Structure 1
Amino acid sequence: MKASLCLCPLVLFTATVLSAPDKSLIQAQCVALKNVHISAAAIGLPTRGARVTTVAMAGHPGNQHCKVEGQIEPVDTDAPDINFELYLPLDWNGKALQLGGSGFDGAIKDADTARLAPAATPGAIKQGYATFASDSGHQGGVSDASFTLNQEAWDNFAGAQIKKTHDVAVALIRQAYGRKPDRMYFQGNSQGGHEALAAIQRFPLDYDGAIAIHPVYNVVELHLAGISIGKAIYNTPGAWISPAKAALIANAVTGACDKLDGLADGVVADPDACSTTFKLAHLRCPEGKDVGASCLSDPQIALVRMLDKPVPLGVSLLTGDHFAPWPILRGADASALVSVFGSGANRPKPEASNIIISFPYMMGDQAVRYEVMRDASYDSLRFDPAAHETRLKELAVQIDNDSADIHAFVQHGGKLLLMHGTADMAVPPGNTVAYYEKLKAEFGEQELHRFARFYLAPGFTHSSGTYRVSWDSLGTLDKWVVHGIDPGQQVMTDTNKATAGREMPLCDYPLFPRYNGKGDPKVASSFTCASR
């Protein structure tokens, strides 16, 4: 079951509280944190307490900070620890930032820096934030779900680690500075975006704001869609699409749709117009037979059409029986398409293969073998979701975070920023659109706009794309929470090497950036956020 909010004792230590001046820290006080043990009573969900394992000064002169590493001990002695990292600036701004992970987690991902932050913006620690993150309670690769065989490790990954890590970090921050943070934010991308939504849905009073980028909030549905994709690729003779044909599709879509936003810049900024403009039939091979890289056979056309529409899950869950369509014909670049099709047509083996397999299928395969079937040798390409509906619904209740009931977070004064790349082939943008529409139905558009914003970033995939986004989302959120400054139209900056530095508006959904027809095309002011 989902973890519930717990109003627990604040902090209990086995070490004496340091008499650190408010908002400042010196090296001796940093080193003294090595002696701290946090009792189980200070953590809002069951553990055996937490211990600090390593403390050291880190960074460069003028940007030094105290790096704290530690472990949260599970109740089940057979379960893995939750490893965490906490970065404490010497000159603290009174705020803290919890950062999410990626994939199936299993490692601590960039605990010292905000996601997608512009290079010109000082890092979160340099701004004075205490930052922290965890491996979510197991160790391994981002595409390894074998840890889920242990119930407590699964519960931690499903959301409990968010609360446990938060409470331990707050206890250590209080120990270091003599007070808890004035503001607490959560930021994450992909699984980390999922964790951001989990944080405000499950533990709403712990957070003043959240940034969810490409959030995988209904992860069971995503993994079932991945199984459907895998079956369509590997169980259907002739369906696999080669990297050369992936480039053919990407180039054809860009050629037909690039200028629809008023500017030929390699970015499909109006994907809705593209959907009505591009004709897939133009890529069909003569008589539908595969004659090489210059066209698509009928089985390949069928695979593309499947991805371009809501993908059937094979079972009805609380969020429905289909998953959002992939933006395969809406501006995704060739490398993003290859990540979905894989590098070869051979039927993959469960654990290892001599080809790069479809990423959505690979993640779904892990979920089916370990979470559903609990059998490492199971062949997920013959999985029948309908035969395991009860188990799938049970898992969805435990890990999905699709609830629009975030009233407690809003009443607490919380603010939410959502962002998704229009070309994301790992988690389709329509999935976040669906969640935003649920929020709109729950609160009404006017009320929703008071505490939430949703931006679609043209040409951005899950982490790259024809427009690789940087965006000061943390600064935007903080100004909104602390000073009440409405985010308004945001600006994103491209970090691709060939086009680095060009700007474009990051428009409120459902608007898109249209070039005005004059002015520097690399400057955001030359665009208008437009509706179709």
Structure 2
Amino acid sequence: MKAPLLTCFLLLMCSAATAAPPKAFTQAQCVGLKTAHVDAASIGLPTRGAVITAVAMAGQPNEPHCKLEGQIKPVDLKAPNIEFQLYLPLLWNGKALQLGGSGFDGAIKGADTARLAPAATPGALKQGYATFGSDSGHQGGVSDASFTLNDEAWENFAGAQIKKTHDVAIALIQQAYGRKPSRMYFQGNSQGGHEALAAIQRFPLDYDGAIAIHPVYNVVELHMAGIRIGQAVYNTPGAWISPAKSALIANAVMGACDKLDGLSDGIVANVKACDATFTLAHLRCKNGKDDGAGCLSDKQMSLVKMLSKPVSLGVTLPTGDRFAPWPILQGADAASIVSVFGSGADKPNPEASNLIISFPYMMGDQAVRYEVMRSPDYDSLTFDPATHQARLQELASQVDNNDADIRAFVQHGGKLLMMHGTADMAVPPGNTVAYYDRLKTQFGEKTLRQFARFYLAPGFTHYSGPFRLSWDSLGTLDKWVDHGIDPGQQVMIDTNKATAGREMPLCDYPLFPKYKGQGDTRVASSFECVTQ
């Protein structure tokens, strides 16, 4: 055999060996995993091992998979278990996807499906991914922080559960298929986005790629901003902004800013031009006194101005002393504005499980009462952050993940996708902008683009909004990691019922999508990503 042909043959053989499929996995083997367990020695952080509590075959005929439910046992016998789920497709593609939670976690959130994926994109399981997630080490509502009174439960939520869940899942995947995944990804939204950044900062060699959507990487800072909002709303008579006035604000901003991106479509895409165009003073009531739903009093104007600029925390944390401004004057819809101000002016019931009270305040209240004061009966409307700086800094050092030095992850070959909605009133987009800017300072823009991309999605709130985004982030990440295909121009697809299927470019920050002036307004190619 001639040398070139021999070289080619050997390369093909090596490639074939590398891509060799895992051993067959059957329904019988799925059922056999009921007795599987993972020893504590196989888990990188202290536990008492993990056991399987339930096994079942699930899925449609074209998506058969094995569903495992299990528990990771804590060291502290009084601490809750980490409840986890692992989904194993019978036709495995050799890769795995770990999925994050939301809020204070407390439940296993969609451990079988990628976040915000388009309806036309096959699900992660159908693509052959093994998927898994956990409740982060406690059960409860996403707005319930009472679990933090237990130190191990807090430690798990603060990041340890990411590693523990990962290691257990990898061990079980190896038992099922005979080998570990060739690629390991993490994807999450909100607290799950925070967990994605925590994963690559704290456990960089465990992951080949991560998708961080609306990441709350500085959660203590967010909660202190929530306390400031709650105190401004509920401690100042007349400051509360009603749902009717929230609609007034949203409609006024939309009227002034909708067309600034070249198209009147109910979406504010050119946020920078909106900042320069919209004038809040036009909404002021005559003489500054509350004259009803058609205007804002001076107290209400002050509240809006407070949120529209960096919010002073009243304390210096490792991540700073101010939190990013809320996009109340940048295209947020009425419903998301109401979620910040609440639907009533009265002093709230801190245990309320709905949006009658301000959502940012409700989350901050939980953090203050359980994490800081460790007293369920404490009134957080009287809380002075400055007098508890040491405790707040301690908590931030444990749970926040704002480190831009992710060289270990990058040198391992890791890729990062970040995305944030421009109208997100739960976690302001400026917060993710700040972290991306830190990455740019750390690596330089040219180097950064070799492993990271950041997108701003116009009209998208935390989960809904005028443009309810879907985006094949998992497919984009996998092509980049596994095949070296640069993300290129991304496309987002609306899932709102009235506008379902319309497209728009998902532009690299700081670009935004501008209508070209001609072409189908529902097709992404009719837009271009520009700076102005």
TM-score (norm 2): 0.96
Written as runs of structure 1 = structure 2, the 5 A alignment for 1:294-305 is: 294-305=294-305
Give 1:432's aligned amino acid.
T
**In the TM superposition, what is the alpha-carbon distance from 1:23 to its structure 2 partner?**
4.8
**In the TM superposition, what is the alpha-carbon distance from 1:349 to its structure 2 partner?**
2.5
Matching residue of 1:286 = 286
Written as runs of structure 1 = structure 2, the 5 A alignment for 1:4-153 is: 22-153=22-153
- Segments of 5+ residues of structure 2 without an aligned counterpart are 1-20
- Choose 56-65 or 183-192, whichever is displaced more: 56-65
- Segments of 5+ residues of structure 1 without an aligned counterpart are 1-20
Task: Give distance in 1, aligned partners of 2:524 and 2:355.
Answer: 41
Tell me, what secondary structure is at the counterpart of 2:450? helix
Give 2:472's aligned amino acid.
D
Tell me, what secondary structure is at the counterpart of 1:442? helix
Task: Give distance in 1, aligned partners of 2:60 and 2:510.
Answer: 43
Written as runs of structure 1 = structure 2, the 5 A alignment for 1:238-253 is: 238-253=238-253
Tell me, what secondary structure is at the counterpart of 2:295? coil
Q: Does 1:194 align with 2:194?
A: yes
Task: Give distance in 1, aligned partners of 2:320 and 2:99.
Answer: 30
Matching residue of 1:342 = 342
Task: Give distance in 2, aligned partners of 1:388 and 1:89.
Answer: 49
Task: Give distance in 2, aligned partners of 1:354 and 1:423.
Answer: 21
Give 1:425's aligned amino acid.
M
Residues 23 and 91 of structure 1 are in contact (CA less than 8 Å); yes or no, is this contact kept in structure 2?
A: no
Task: Give distance in 2, aligned partners of 1:22 and 1:298.
Answer: 67
Task: Give distance in 2, aligned partners of 1:242 and 1:383.
Answer: 25
Residues 350 and 377 of structure 1 are in contact (CA less than 8 Å); yes or no, is this contact kept in structure 2?
A: no
Assess, with a 3 A threshold, how the Cα gap between structure 1 residues 354 and 126 changes in structure 2: closer, same or farther. closer
Tell me, what secondary structure is at the counterpart of 2:463? coil
Assess, with a 3 A threshold, how the Cα gap between structure 1 residues 23 and 211 changes in structure 2: closer, same or farther. farther
Residues 143 and 353 of structure 2 are in contact (CA less than 8 Å); yes or no, is this contact kept in structure 1?
A: no
Residues 101 and 109 of structure 1 are in contact (CA less than 8 Å); yes or no, is this contact kept in structure 2?
A: yes
Deviation readout 1:484-512 (Å, 9 max, x if unpaired):
00001100000000000000000000000
Assess, with a 3 A threshold, how the Cα gap between structure 1 residues 455 and 23 changes in structure 2: closer, same or farther. farther
Task: Give distance in 2, aligned partners of 1:328 and 1:98.
Answer: 33
Matching residue of 2:379 = 379
Task: Give distance in 1, aligned partners of 2:346 and 2:478.
Answer: 49
Matching residue of 2:6 = none
Matching residue of 1:306 = 306
Matching residue of 1:401 = 401
**In the TM superposition, what is the alpha-carbon distance from 1:355 to its structure 2 partner?**
7.2
Matching residue of 1:438 = 438
Task: Give distance in 2, aligned partners of 1:432 and 1:211.
Answer: 13
Deviation readout 1:411-443 (Å, 9 max, x if unpaired):
000000000000000000000000000000000
Task: Give distance in 2, aligned partners of 1:355 and 1:321.
Answer: 27
Give 1:473's aligned amino acid.
S
Tell me, what secondary structure is at the counterpart of 1:450? coil
**In the TM superposition, what is the alpha-carbon distance from 1:354 to its structure 2 partner?**
9.3
Task: Give distance in 2, aligned partners of 1:105 and 1:301.
Answer: 35
Task: Give distance in 1, aligned partners of 2:373 and 2:151.
Answer: 14
Matching residue of 2:426 = 426
Deviation readout 1:387-422 (Å, 9 max, x if unpaired):
000000000000000000100000000000000000
Give 2:434's aligned amino acid.
A
Give 1:168's aligned amino acid.
V
Deviation readout 1:228-285 (Å, 9 max, x if unpaired):
0000100011000000000000000000000000000000001111011000000000
| Aligned sequence identity (%) | 79
Tell me, what secondary structure is at the counterpart of 1:112? coil
Matching residue of 1:3 = none
Residues 23 and 93 of structure 1 are in contact (CA less than 8 Å); yes or no, is this contact kept in structure 2?
A: no
Assess, with a 3 A threshold, how the Cα gap between structure 1 residues 498 and 79 changes in structure 2: closer, same or farther. same
Assess, with a 3 A threshold, how the Cα gap between structure 1 residues 34 and 522 changes in structure 2: closer, same or farther. same
TM-score (norm 1): 0.96
* Ranges of 4+ aligned residues in structure 1 off by more than 3 Å: 352-355
Matching residue of 2:369 = 369
Residues 63 and 126 of structure 1 are in contact (CA less than 8 Å); yes or no, is this contact kept in structure 2?
A: yes
Q: Does 1:167 align with 2:167?
A: yes
Matching residue of 2:9 = none
Task: Give distance in 2, aligned partners of 1:113 and 1:501.
Answer: 20
Assess, with a 3 A threshold, how the Cα gap between structure 1 residues 450 and 247 changes in structure 2: closer, same or farther. same
Deviation readout 1:71-119 (Å, 9 max, x if unpaired):
0000000000000000000000000000000000000000000000000
Give 2:453's aligned amino acid.
R
Task: Give distance in 1, aligned partners of 2:31 and 2:76.
Answer: 30
Tell me, what secondary structure is at the counterpart of 1:487? coil
Give 2:151's aligned amino acid.
Q
Root mean square deviation, CA, Å: 0.9
Residues 200 and 207 of structure 1 are in contact (CA less than 8 Å); yes or no, is this contact kept in structure 2?
A: yes
Task: Report the number of matched residues.
Answer: 512
Task: Give distance in 1, aligned partners of 2:25 and 2:494.
Answer: 36
Deviation readout 1:420-476 (Å, 9 max, x if unpaired):
000000000000000000000000000000000000000000000000000000000
